[in-house]
Structure formats: structure tokens, C-alpha cells
Structure 1
Amino acid sequence: MISEFHIDIGEAELAALRRRLVDVRWPDRLDGARWEFGTDLEFLQELHAYWLEAYDWRREEQRLNSLSHHKFLRNGSSVHFIHQVGKGLNPLPLIMTHGWPGSFVEMQKIIPLLTDPGAHGGDPADAFSLVVPSIPGHGFSDRPTKPGTNVFAVADIWADLMTALGYDRFGAQGGDWGSWISSALGLRHADRLIGLHLNYVSTGFRPDLNPGTPPLAEEEVAYLDRVAKWREAEGAYIAIQGTKPQTLAYGLTDSPIGLAAWLIEKFQGWSDSKQRPDETLTQDELLTNVMIHWLTNTVHSSFRFYSEARACPLHLQPGQRILPPCGIVRLPRELPMPPRRWVERAFNLTHWTTLPRGGHFAAMEAPELLAEDIRAFFRPLRAAAGNRFS
């Protein structure tokens, strides 16, 4: 069952948040330290002042509510999603999935570029009807109460959601967890997927490397070495969120500044920024993403997706491949990305491009570039499908 949804946060919740922000207690830091040990104290104190004095949730709430929000009830649990119908003769249905530490807010700037390309310098024939869900346990989607909501389960929910919307065949797009879920869609629902566009291939993803497959090439060995070094230097969050999410959640559920520090460190380290994350993203964009996590009290349930992935990773079994046509876009400040040969072990690769700027949050950082690459990838697939999607 599908119902309309409207974001409406009560004044009491906003007042309670403000009290916590006013009563913040700051840690010390080493002299001269900036981001090398975690979130920079000076930056966070500046952001805290902006949060209290200038940030306007009601303005952001109104902006978000200009999109078409809904809830999908399935087996007693509801999933929040945005559904923006494209403006064109035959808009292609496309489900776009966010990652962590992001939310559906990641897609806010790219939605109009894809749904109404004619109004943004593009060809109306490239229009998409977008479905932008919140992963269970994230944002306004319900929080799972039992284990088992892994990427494969979410892929099945997405397939059912698209059926409920009347979309028999559709495309999928994502980065971070969105790339895992989109890939799982391609694995479990290949007959329905027109194409698969990814702006990230996870360091935790594994193609079939069992005996009988081609030996690893030098570039693949080098990639695995980069992944190992990256995980040693930057992977502490994966370890704790994948093994002891409950313990971490107490502090970040109680402290909005603690939550902001945990999330924004990743926007600094993973975006195309040099000194500060607001070189690439505005302070409003950073804070709205934090607010979605805070106001929905989903920090712990979002962490649990890591323990679900640890228990049930996206590792292909012997002989398995993801069959729908796949497009990969690489960004210069992305996390370690595999070489083409590694990707071709698992995917039916038909499109491989590199963008001149951007990082892990491509839809926020470089929406115009990403939108054009998505259009280009799906253009020949529309013709092959005969523009019949429902």
C-alpha cells in the first residue's frame, strides 16, 4: 500500500535539539591538529554557531516538501520514498539509492536535472521518473527490529516498490550502499532491470574469484593492496559499526554535536574538498543531512546496516555474474575504486567514464556531471527497450 507523506517536525523536538546544542561540552585537542585525528574542532565550533544562529530547519523542511514524498507499506513495515514523475514523452523509471552517511537528501539537486532535463539544458527525451527511497533504518523509513534487513532484502523491497508503482522494467543507480543495493537488484531481478549505473564499487564487494576463474592481474593485486592500506588507515568506522553499533549509538543518539562530528568527518575525507567540507557542500547541506539522522533517531539503525553486510556480504558465488548492462563512473576523489578488469569479472560492463571532479557524494558534489553521465548511459538502453517500461 502506498500513501502520501509530509515532513512535519514538531516544535518541541526542535526546541529539545536547541537545548542540547546550547549545553554542548567540547573536547580538547592537540596543538595544531586539524583533521588528521578526526573532525576539526575549529570547524565544528564554527558549524555549531551557524547551527544555532543561522540554520533554518523550517526553510529546509519546506524545500524538501516541495518534492513528492510517500510511504510504502510492506509486511507491516513502511519505507519512505520520493516519487518524481518525469517530464517527457516516455520517462524511464529509475530507482536511485543513497548511502551512508548520506540520506535521500543526497539526491535533492539531481532530481530536477533527471526528471526535467529540457528545463536544464538537456533533451526532454532523456527524462526519468525517479524513485528515491530511504533505506530501511534510515531517515523516515521504519527501523528494522530483527536481523535480516541486508542488501538482498532491500533489493527485494525495491522490486516490490517498483511493482506497486506500476513499473515493470526500470533502471537502478547508486553509490555507497546504493551501489550494493543496485547490484543486488541486478543479481536477483535481472529480468526487470534495464540497466545499472554505479558511481562507486565498494571495497567490500567481491566478484567470483574461485578456482577456474582467471588469475588476478597486476592491477587487481595493486587494487587489493590499496584497499588493505585504506582500511587500515580509514576503516575504523566499518569495524565498529559492523561489530558494536549499539555501543557507539548511545553517545551519538544523545549528542547532536557528537553525531555531526561522526558524519561530517566522512564528508570532509570523502568529498572533493581540500581543507574543509564546505568547500564542496554548503553548511546547510551538511546540517540538513545531520538533521535527518537526528530528528528520525536513526543513527543506530543506520549503523546496523554494516553488521547486516558483515553477516551477508555482496560476494558473488561460483559462476555468478550481474547480467544487466552496467555503467561505471569514476570520480577523482572517490574511495579506492577497482580497475576495469576487476569490474568486468562481475558486471556486464558497457559504459566506463571518468569525471573531472567530485568525490563519494557525486549527486551532491557534481549533480550536473553525474546527471549527464546517467543520461548518456541509459540513452541506448531506452531504444533497446523500445521505450516500454510499464
Structure 2
Amino acid sequence: MDRRSLIKNAGIAGVLAAGAAPAVHAQTTIRWRLASSFPKSLDTIYGAAETFSKAVRTMSGGKFEVSVHAAGELMPAFGVVDGVQNGTVEAAHTAPYYFFGKDECFALGCAIPFGLNSRQMTAWIYEGNGGKLMREFYAKYNIINFAGGNTGAQMGGWFRKEIKSMADVKGLKFRIGGFGGKVIERIGGVPQNIPGGEIYQALEKGTIDAAEWVGPYDDQKLGFNKVAPFYYYPGWWEGGPQLDFFIGQKAFDALSAENKAIVEAAAAQAHVTMQARYDALNPGALKQLVGAGTKLRPFPNDMMSAAFKEAMGLYEELGSKNESWKKIYADYARFRADQNLWFRFTEATFDRFMQSQKL
């Protein structure tokens, strides 16, 4: 039977009766799982993954769903890279420097001591060579990355005892995330890498002497002011820590061009939203902490100077034994120098003047 003649002569009713109509299939909904390195209680940093998920769902008209799982639900906080790499989950939201033990270059995708601030980091990733260089590096782990938020410059953390000079750092058991611990160790401290949800208990029991997390809003939620009276600044190891969405290369490659664009746009939305929330919420939280008795202190100058010197020495050493670090850091350092020159005449001067005024 000639199918075209049948359609012409019998009409649609005849076609259906003859069973010759083409099959119609509903579009399959894409379902991904995303493992976060953070607890749900931290609505700012964990919330970036929820912002991403909601944006993906909205832009796809509900045809692309990403379920978000807090640290410990599907895998430990520090197990998410392995989870994405081996396909246990399609995506993760994390701070890349948690994984510097695999390769120090992970830290360059997040924050290193005396590195880029948040605006400079975004510029390096989006408009400099940072995006290209980090993509090349993460490809070794079958991962494609998208910027997924930034906290802005962080506080230096909570200390049970006052730090008056370098001498007080010797032997200090300090919970510090990621790469900053390498420099703390070089100036005499004892770094501890503990997930956010476990810091309070360690500080309360005296297992550690000090701990840093992010800043006033998150730190207040975690209650650190109840177990350590001194709050130091600045977090020189995290001038602009960038979080990332890590997507399994296989899962990403399976997406249509439209859905790839949705992932990229949703990540960008989460990236901007996360820092906006921190910038909006931190000032009020700091006022409340100080009002409740928190003692604000700047880090001693000799500690800052020693840490800077050791950080620069560390980067030089890494360049002599890690070719990926040598390549990426060379570009990072050039970009940092140019950015600091520019900010010196603009942002920094403007900020110093405004902060000296009574508003």
C-alpha cells in the first residue's frame, strides 16, 4: 500500500484506523543529581546550588531537573570530585581548593593566599585566560567547570586566644580550608581540614584552637562566637574564593546545545546571586556579633608579612615540580599584577576615602 495515497484519500481518520500514523513520543525529562560540599543550614553557600537547580528547571520549562543533595547525603563533603569523575552523580557544587591534595592546581580555580579578589577572579575566568586554562586542567578528571559563586574576601576566623605576634601562631591547631593551610604550616601553625558542619564541635571541645569559615553571616549561623571570643581579619588566604559547578564531561556532552546553554546560564546566575547575598547579609551579622561581645582584631603585621613571603616562596617551589601549576600560575600572576595596578588607582582609593567618611 502506498502510504502517501492512503493519507491523501482516507484522511487522518483512515490513517489512524489503518494504524499507519507515525508514533508520537513525549520529550524525556532529564534528571541529574548534584552533590554539594555544604550543609543545608548555610543558605548562602548551599543555596547557590539551589539557585542553579531552580534556574535550570525554569529555563527548560521543567524538562531538565537537577536535585540538590547536601554534604553527607550521597557522599562526603570532600568526595564530590570522585563522585563526578566516576559518574556516581552528574554534578557537584564545591570549593575547588578542597582538592589540592589531588593536585595543587585545584586551588588556582578557587583561591590561593594573597591571590585575586572576587571581581578579579571573575575577570580572569570569564575574560582572561583563566577559564581556558582551568578547563584544560579539569579535563584530566573528566570534568567541565562553571563558575558557581564567590563569597568575596573572607574573615580570618575565630580564635580561642588572642594572636599578638608570630610567636602565637607556633603550634596553633587551626581549621583552615584548602590551600591556605600550606602557608599556615610554613609559618608554624598546624592546619586542620574539617568540613563546615563539623567545625563547631572541634572548636568547642578544644580539638582545635582556631577556625575560619567564611564571614559573619555564616559564622553566626554556625555559632562560632559562642566558643571562641576573638574574630580576626582579613582572610588573606581567601581574597576572592570562587566556587564551581563541576559537571561530568560525559553527562554534559550528552546534552543538547540548548540544554548546555541552560547549564551555563544557570551557573552564571548562581555565581552572581551568591556574592550579592553575602554582601547584603554580612554587615548586619557583623554588627550583631560585635554587639554580643565578639572581639574584632586585625592579624599582626609580622604574621601578614611572614605569610606573604612564604606564599610567594611556595608558588615558586611548586612551579619547579608541577608543570600544570607553572603554566597556570604564570598567567594568574601576570593578571594579578595588572589588576592590582588598576585597582590601586580606582577601587582601592575610592574605598579608602569612602570608609573614612561618616555616612
Normalization by structure 2: what TM-score?
0.30
Which has the larger Rg?
A: 2
Higher relative contact order (CA 8 A, sep 6+): 2
Structure with the largest fraction of helix = 2
Normalization by structure 1: what TM-score?
0.28
